[in-house]
């Protein structure tokens, strides 16, 4: 019995390792504008009648190549035959913003996502995330729970943006009580600004 268990664990570990290698290879190929080579099928993703991109399915993973999303590539680990076990957090129940009583003209640094992208707030004192399990936390703590947390919020809790700005493609997404400006400038600025419903593309943003 122990031998059978050991063999089973070895097989499972080997499949996971192969899936990781295949997934990383396909992700890097898509990142470099090449087709994946280890996926077994793909499906187009639509928002009503608008084609957003393509989802590729591999051994234990899927990769979404979304041209019209805030982030082009999404890697979903442990994904198998359209049934996914996602590593992340529970769904958000609501997002509450606390407006500042003293709103200046400048945005405040809030959180660093990576070397090339920071999050700023404008005219807000706080942002509270309440999940469906009733756990509440400030946005900066929620952003630490999984890598794509900010994109999860943008894609699921805001409406489709209007036309892009002529700076290279920056867009404003509207939530219930807040706006989110996603910068995408010709100079390479990819910062994100979160503010009240009156926040637009202010002078000094996306610089």
pLDDT at position 59, please?
87
- Measured from the Cβ of residue 133, the count of other Cβ atoms closer than 10 Å reads 10
Give start and end residues of each alpha helix (H) in the chain. Answer: 2-31, 139-142, 149-157
Distance in angstroms (rounded) separating the CA atoms of residues 148 and 156: 12
Q: Give pLDDT tens digits along the chain (207 positions).
A: 677 888 888 888 888 889 889 999 999 999 898 989 999 888 777 654 556 778 888 888 889 888 766 667 888 876 544 433 333 445 788 999 999 988 877 899 999 988 889 999 999 999 999 987 788 899 999 888 776 788 888 888 898 787 889 998 999 999 999 999 999 999 999 999 999 999 999 989 999
Spatial strand order in the sheet of 108-114: 108-114, 117-122, 192-195, 179-182, 171-174
Residues 132 and 92 sit within 8 Å (Cβ to Cβ): yes
Copy the structure tokens of residue 181.
């400006």
Copy the structure tokens of residue 145.
């729970």
Question: pTM of the predicted model, to two decimals?
Answer: 0.61
Distance in angstroms (rounded) separating the CA atoms of residues 201 and 207: 11
DSSP per-residue codes, 161-178: P-SPPTTTS-EEEE-SS-
Distance in angstroms (rounded) separating the CA atoms of residues 195 and 120: 8
- Measured from the Cβ of residue 110, the count of other Cβ atoms closer than 10 Å reads 19
Spatial strand order in the sheet of 50-58: 41-47, 50-58, 61-66, 73-77
């Amino acid at each position: 019995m122990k031998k059978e268990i050991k063999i089973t664990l070895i097989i499972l570990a080997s499949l996971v390792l192969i899936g990781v290698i295949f997934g990383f290879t396909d992700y890097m190929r898509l990142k470099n504008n090449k087709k994946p080579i280890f996926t077994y099928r793909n499906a187009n993703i639509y928002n009503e009648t608008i084609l957003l991109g393509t989802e590729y399915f591999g051994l234990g993973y899927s990769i979404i190549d979304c041209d019209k999303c805030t982030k082009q590539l999404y890697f979903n680990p442990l994904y198998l035959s359209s049934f996914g076990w996602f590593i992340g957090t529970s769904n958000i129940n609501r997002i509450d913003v606390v407006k500042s009583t003293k709103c200046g003209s400048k945005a405040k640094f809030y959180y660093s996502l990576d070397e090339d992208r920071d999050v700023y707030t404008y005219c807000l004192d706080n942002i509270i995330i309440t999940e469906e399990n009733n756990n509440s936390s400030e946005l900066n703590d929620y952003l630490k729970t999984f890598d794509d947390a900010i994109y999860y919020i943008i894609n699921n809790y805001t409406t489709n943006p209007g036309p892009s700005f002529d700076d290279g493609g920056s867009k404003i997404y509207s939530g219930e009580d807040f706006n989110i400006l996603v910068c995408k400038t010709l100079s390479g600025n990819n910062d994100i600004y979160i503010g009240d419903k009156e926040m637009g593309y202010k002078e000094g943003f996306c610089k």
